Amino acid sequence: MFLFTHRQYMMAADHLTGHLASWPGDEAAALMVDAFAASGSRPYRERGDALVERQYALAGPESWVWASRLAWTRAEQGRVDEAYELAVLALEHNARSGLAVHAKAHAEHEMGAGPASVAFIDVWLSADPQAVQFRHLNWHAALQSLAAGDVVDARRRADRALDRADVGMRAAANWRLLLAGQAPARRCEVQHVRDLLAAPGGTAEVFHTFNLALALAVEAATDDLEALARRATCDERPEFAQVLAPVVRALAHLTAGRPQAAVDLLTRLGPDLERLGGVRVEREIVQDTLARVLVDAGDPERAADLLHHRTANRAHHVYEDLLLSALPAPARTKEMPHG
Q: What is the structure's pLDDT at 335?
A: 40
Contacting residues for 249 by C-beta, under 8 A, at least 6 apart = 225, 226, 229, 265
Length of the chain counted residue by residue: 339
Q: What is the structure's pLDDT at 65?
A: 97
Of 275, 258, 273, 283, residue with least CA distance to 175: 283
Cα dist. 95→91, 98, 110, 128, 138 in Å? 4, 9, 22, 12, 18
Per-residue pLDDT of the chain (339 residues; tens, 9 = 90+): 899 999 899 999 999 999 999 999 999 999 999 999 998 888 999 999 999 999 999 999 999 999 999 999 999 999 999 999 999 999 999 999 999 999 999 999 999 999 999 999 999 999 998 999 999 999 999 999 999 999 999 999 999 999 889 999 999 999 999 999 999 998 889 999 999 999 998 999 999 999 999 999 999 999 999 999 999 999 999 999 999 999 999 999 999 999 999 999 999 998 899 999 999 999 999 999 999 999 999 999 999 999 999 999 999 999 999 999 986 544 444 344 333
Q: What is the structure's pLDDT at 149?
A: 96
DSSP result, 120-141 = HHHHHHHT-TT-TTHHHHHHHH
Q: What is the structure's pLDDT at 40?
A: 84
Q: What is the structure's pLDDT at 327?
A: 66
Amino acid in position 74: R
Pairwise CA distance, residues 265 & 276, whole Å: 14
Q: What is the structure's pLDDT at 328?
A: 55
Pairwise CA distance, residues 199 & 100, whole Å: 34
